Amino acid sequence: MKNKINIAVVGLGQIGNYLMNELISKKKDIELKTGKKINLVAVSAKNPNKKRKFKINRKIFFRNPLNIIKTKKIDILFEAIGKSDGISKKIVVNSLKNKIHVITPNKALISKHGDYLSKLAEINKVNLEFEASVAGGIPILKTIKESLATNKIHKILGILNGTTNYILTEMEKTKKSFSDVLKKAQALGYAEPGKPTLDLNGYDAFAKIRILSALAFNNKISKYKCLMEGIENIDSKDIEITNQLNYRIKLLGITELINNKLFERVHPCLVKKDTYIGNVNGVMNAVITHGSPVGESILQGEGAGAGPTSSALMSDLLSILRGNIKYSFGIPDFKRKKINAYNSNNYLNSMYLRIEVKDKPGVLSQITNILAKRNISVERLIQIPDHKKKTASIVIITHKSKEIDVQSCLKTFRLNKNILKRPTLIRLL
């Protein structure tokens, strides 16, 4: 690689702005550590007149990022627009076809088009780097690709979304409602304005799980329907009850091989308070890998925000500058396989059920009879009456039961007039 490297940055949102400051302020540090000089030759954003901490030379500013490749000689391009399709995909595809290295934090793009883009990078002998797409500043992808490269990984789990982790932590700490804590998260900038659907419904964590699966198990990015639930239905009552039972609620992303079949899922879990993952709070992320011979490995850090994301982007930059030309998913594309999906209906797990009912004789026996008919045995049962409302909360923790049997019970519960609303289901880790 030549000594002077031409760089383009596409997208000047929160992440792009922070990245620009890093590129400008750390030029000497980059040269010291890589022996390469970086030269910012092109920048693209919607608004050239927006007030920023740095000045943009109008000669290198492009409203249309596709024009960069046509008019400038680029060695490395940062894509920081976001979204899986549209201009984001076009600029990355065009860059790779023109033998330009690409660095991106875009998890939506990689989780949807990563197979195609990585193959394109391989054909053109350039890098497609996306460390920042999963868990922000935590170097989990490099850890899997390099540090754990000779290990056989069979399971990865983690807190992969800082917004939801903050909300659940604050609900426990302040005893406030989901909606109140969400407003606070938005005011602090931890959650997007309006309704941050992709965070709350689990899709953000799901996109990251798909990327982790592909790296860990040498498989193509899965297209299977995932067991996916968010935190929108978690009530402060669940926080209070599970806290008394010595549990915390965490939204976890989990991927593992069961009988050589791929099982990916994202959903709230009850985790013991004395476990490591049970004490990862606030906006922090944590990823735990299980492999052989290494055993259990844990990485923790800030998983979102401009600073941690930019740190991962800069790490990818230095990797390329040092001449580390490598496969995007660790191995050649033709060696990556398609793994069959595990049938989630067969998944055995203990469950937490909270059922709001009319407080009258016979209701509890109706519920336990429904469970018994589906071969679901009760490990623990608590009844919490509300005498004023003449209602009760029935809390059940089951022994390990099949997912299909539990879901069948939930359907039956919805038909029971003594059950006041849809029961809450949380799986135990």
What is the β-pairing status of strands 348-349 and 61-62?
unpaired
Residue 140, classified by CB atoms within 10 Å of its CB into exposed (0-12), middle (13-18) or buried (19+), is buried
Q: Which of 309, 306, 292 is nearest to 154 (CA)?
A: 292
Q: Which of 280, 218, 216, 224 is nearest to 248 (CA)?
A: 280
For residue 203, give the H/E element and its range: helix 203-217
Whether cis (ω within 30° of 0) applies to the bond prior to 293 is: yes
Q: Can you read off the two tokens belonging to residue 123?
A: 């054909």
Active site residues: 208
Residue 217, classified by CB atoms within 10 Å of its CB into exposed (0-12), middle (13-18) or buried (19+), is buried
Q: How many CB atoms lie within 10 A of CB 274?
A: 8
DSSP one-letter string for 338-377: PPPBP-GGG-EE-EEEEEEEE-STTHHHHHHHHHHHTT--
